[in-house]
Amino acid sequence: MASTVTASRPGYGQLLRTPGAWTYLLPGFLARQPFAMLTIGIVLLVQHTTGSYGTAGIVAAVTGVSMALFAPQSGKLADRFGQSAVLIPGILVHTASVVTLTALALVDAPLWALFVAAVPTGASVPQIGPMVRARWAAKLEGSPLMSTAAAFESVTDEFTFVVGPVLATALCTGVHPAAGLIAEATLTLVGGLFFALQRETQPKVGRVSASDGRRVSALSVPGVRVLAVAFLGIGAVFGGMQVSLTAFSEEIGRPGVNGLLYGVFAAGNMLAGIACGAIAWKVGPRRRLMFGYAGLTLAASGLWAVHSVPLLAGLGLLVGLCIAPALITGYTMVETLVPATARTEAFTWLTGAVALGQAAAVTVAGQLADANGASAGFLVPLAGTVLAFSTLVALRSRLLPKSSGRVAARGMGHRVPVTVD
C-alpha cells in the first residue's frame, strides 16, 4: 500500500517524514559504509604486499565478480524469506572472509589462496543499498516521491564513496596496510546486524504475482537486462577511477592524494544526486537516462589526457556529476518495470552489474597501469561508458513499461499520469 506521505512537489522534507523511514535509514547508512571501503582496501593491501597493481586488481576483481554473481541470489532469497533471514548469516560469513583474506595477504600467501578467500568475501557482501531501496519501494509504491527516494539513496551511496575511500586510504597509508580491511569487517559486523534487526520495515514476503500466481524473476523483464548493461558501464567508471587514481598518485609521489581525488569524484556524484532529487522532472525517465549517459561518456573521454592534480580533480568532479542522473534514473525505473515481488532481486541485479563492471575495470585498469602508466588505466572508464551507451541507444524501446498509461498517487484522492519517456 502506498505511503500517505504526499506532496505537490517531490522533496526531501516530505520523503523523510514517511512513517518509519528513520528506523531503517540510520542503520542502513552505517551498514553500507564498508561497501565503499572493500575494493580500495583490497587494492592497497595486496599492492603493498605484492608490489603489483595488476595482481591487486585481479584479487579485487575476483571479489567483485563473486558479488555480482551472488548478489541477485541474495535479493531473490530476501524477496522470498525476508531480508533479516538472508542478512544475518551473510554478515557473519563476510566478516570471517575479510579477516581470512587480510591474514593471507599479510603472510604472503600464494595468489591462488587469495583468490579462494576473495570468493566468499565478495559473495557475502551485504546488499544493504538494494534492501533499503526495496523498503522505500514498498512504502512509496505509486507515489511521486519514489524518484525522490531513488535520488536520496544515490546521495547516501555517494556520501559513503566520499567517506569510505578516504577513510580506507588514510587507515592503510597512515596506520597499517591492513587497517582499511579490518575497519571494513568491523563496520559490516556492527552496522549490518543493527540493520538486520529492523524487521518491522522490511517488505512483506511470500507474495506472488497477482496476474498469474507465479513468482516473477526480475531478470525476465527486458528493461532490467538493459539497465544491467548500462550499470556495467557505471561500474567501469568506479573501478577504473579507483585503480587509475591510485596509480596516478603513486606516479607523482603523493599517495595520500588518492583518497582526496576519489572523494572529489564521489562528491560530484553526491551533489548531482541532491539536485536530481530536488527537481520536479517534466522529462520522462528514459530520456533522462539517455541524456545522463551521453554526458557521462563525454566527460570520461578526457580522463586519459589529464596529468595534473587540479585538472584531474576538476574532470573527476564533472564525471561524478554526470553519473548521478543515470544511476538515479535507472533505479527509479525499477518501480515501473518490475513487479513488487521481485524488486529486491531487481535492485541487486543492478548493484551486481555495477560490481561486475567495477571488477572488470579494476583488472584491466590495473594491468594497463602496470604496463603503460596511470593514463592508460583511464581509458577503461571511457570504453565502459561507450559500450553501455551504445547498448542503451540500440535497446531503448525495452525500457518502457508494459502499460504506459498507469497513474500514480499524487495526494489523497488525486492521481496523475506517470511520464515514462
- Tell me what pLDDT residue 224 has: 86
- Tell me what pLDDT residue 327 has: 82
- Tell me what pLDDT residue 215 has: 59
- Please name which of 227, 230, 229, 223 lies closest in space to residue 399, comparing C-alpha atoms: 223
The rounded mean pLDDT for the chain is 80
- Tell me what pLDDT residue 280 has: 65
193 contacts 95 by C-beta, under 8 angstroms = no
Of all residues in the chain, the percent with pLDDT exceeding 90 is 12
Find the mean pLDDT for residues 93-116: 93
Please report how many Cα atoms fall inside a 13 Å half-sphere around the Cα of residue 25, on the Cβ side.
Answer: 15
Find the mean pLDDT for residues 295-301: 89
The overall longest dimension of the chain from CA atoms, in Å, is 66
- Segment (H or E) for 416: strand 414-417
Write out pLDDT tens, residues 136-174.
Answer: 877 777 677 777 787 788 778 767 766 777 788 888 888
pLDDT at position 211 over 70: no
Q: Which one is predicted more confidently, 209 or 95? A: 95
Write out pLDDT tens, residues 49-84.
Answer: 988 877 888 898 888 888 878 888 888 888 788 888
| Res. 104 pLDDT band, cuts 50 70 90 | very high
Query: What Å distances lie between residue 410 and 3, 136, 141, 144, CA to CA?
Result: 11, 16, 11, 6
Write out pLDDT tens, residues 17-48.
Answer: 888 788 888 888 888 877 778 888 998 899 88
| Res. 336 pLDDT band, cuts 50 70 90 | confident
Read out DSSP for 218-229? GGGSHHHHHHHH
Write out pLDDT tens, residues 180-195.
Answer: 999 999 999 988 898 8
Find the mean pLDDT for residues 194-206: 79
Q: Which one is predicted more confidently, 100 or 410? A: 100
**Residue 416: what are its φ and ψ, rounded to 5°?**
-135, 150
pLDDT at position 330 over 80: yes
| Residue carrying C-alpha cell 505511503 | 3
| Burial of residue 32 (number of CB atoms within 10 Å: 0-12, 13-18, 19+) | buried
- Tell me what pLDDT residue 403 has: 56
β-bridge partners, 416:
408
pLDDT at position 367 over 50: yes
> And the C-alpha cell for 106?
599479510
| Res. 410 pLDDT band, cuts 50 70 90 | very low
Write out pLDDT tens, residues 242-272.
Answer: 888 888 888 887 777 877 887 788 778 778 8
- Tell me what pLDDT residue 10 has: 56
